[in-house]
Structure 1
């Protein structure tokens, strides 16, 4: 008699039915959560105008060629994580009064910083910066007129001075 009662139970009293229904139900809820979460997050690594940025690389190469033509090389070191010392070398001993320095974090755009380095001696420049977090950074040094630039990647903490040279493509021109 009990076998008859168990076989005549309604479907909603069967535990396996609820397990099977729970699998797609949990999947749908998780998908809705991920969609809502992703809509609230801002990803700074993604550029809306990626095509314009890509074509801009060719335009910016002229500044690297100019740095190669001037024979510029540089050496960068950090003092107390708050001061940036730059030494520029050029065959013609060129001196600019100020340089613009841009430090860009590889993945976190909100940590980027731009500063002005003042000349403190023959080919020597100094700038104050906010302390850099450990990780991969890019440094871009250029004159105020934006005629040339020296650019390189660096990993912090920087153990020894970083040497900057014009990029390879500019040196081959």
Structure 2
């Protein structure tokens, strides 16, 4: 439409109403998406029992000291679908027939895994497992009686030999 020499723009052709109404509408959509993600996702970083975790630190330190006393060291070979662990001690400690290996994700507790390793005739501990998700993982190896533990961390995918020591 023309009014004199000026052209009258319809509301759909003018950018200012779009900016005026579009930005708040976009903000509301983003807010709804944020709420849905917050409700549906797991809050893996939140612990329910901070006090108990604090008390458990002393027990964990005692287990690290026991591994040091026995001179324990482990080498972990990761391959497609299997884990092979070689455990070495100072001879004072009789190596167990089974080990527990924990794979702990730093931020997603729901992804944590525990596998049982069985000692083979050659002295190594082997287990068949599916590959872990890509990312950083904390690793812990311990005896069945939980007297000692060896800890470390690794970024998956990993192609070398991981060494764990107290």
TM-score after normalising by structure 1: 0.74
What is the distance in 1 between the residues matched to 2:148 and 2:89? 13
1:85 correspondence with 2:80: no
Match of 2:62 in 1: 62
CA contact (8 A) 2:78 2:159 kept: no
- 31-40 vs 97-106, which moves further: 31-40
Match of 1:138 in 2: 138
Q: CA RMSD in A?
A: 3.0
How far off is 1:63 after superposition? 1.0
**Structure 1 spans left out of the alignment, 5+ residues:** 4-11, 167-173
Deviations 1:111-167 (A, max 9, x none): 33211111114642112222223322221110000111001101223222111100x
What is the distance in 2 between the residues matched to 1:36 and 1:133? 25
Shift of the 134–22 alpha-carbon distance from structure 1 to 2, 3 Å rule, reads closer
How far off is 1:40 after superposition? 2.1
What is the distance in 1 between the residues matched to 2:64 and 2:51? 19
Match of 1:163 in 2: 163
How far off is 1:28 after superposition? 3.3
CA contact (8 A) 2:45 2:107 kept: no
Deviations 1:49-72 (A, max 9, x none): 252364033332211111111111
Match of 1:30 in 2: 30
TM-score after normalising by structure 2: 0.76
**Structure 2 spans left out of the alignment, 5+ residues:** 5-10
CA contact (8 A) 1:95 1:123 kept: no
What is the distance in 2 between the residues matched to 1:17 and 1:160? 60
CA contact (8 A) 2:66 2:147 kept: yes
What is the distance in 2 between the residues matched to 1:29 and 1:109? 30
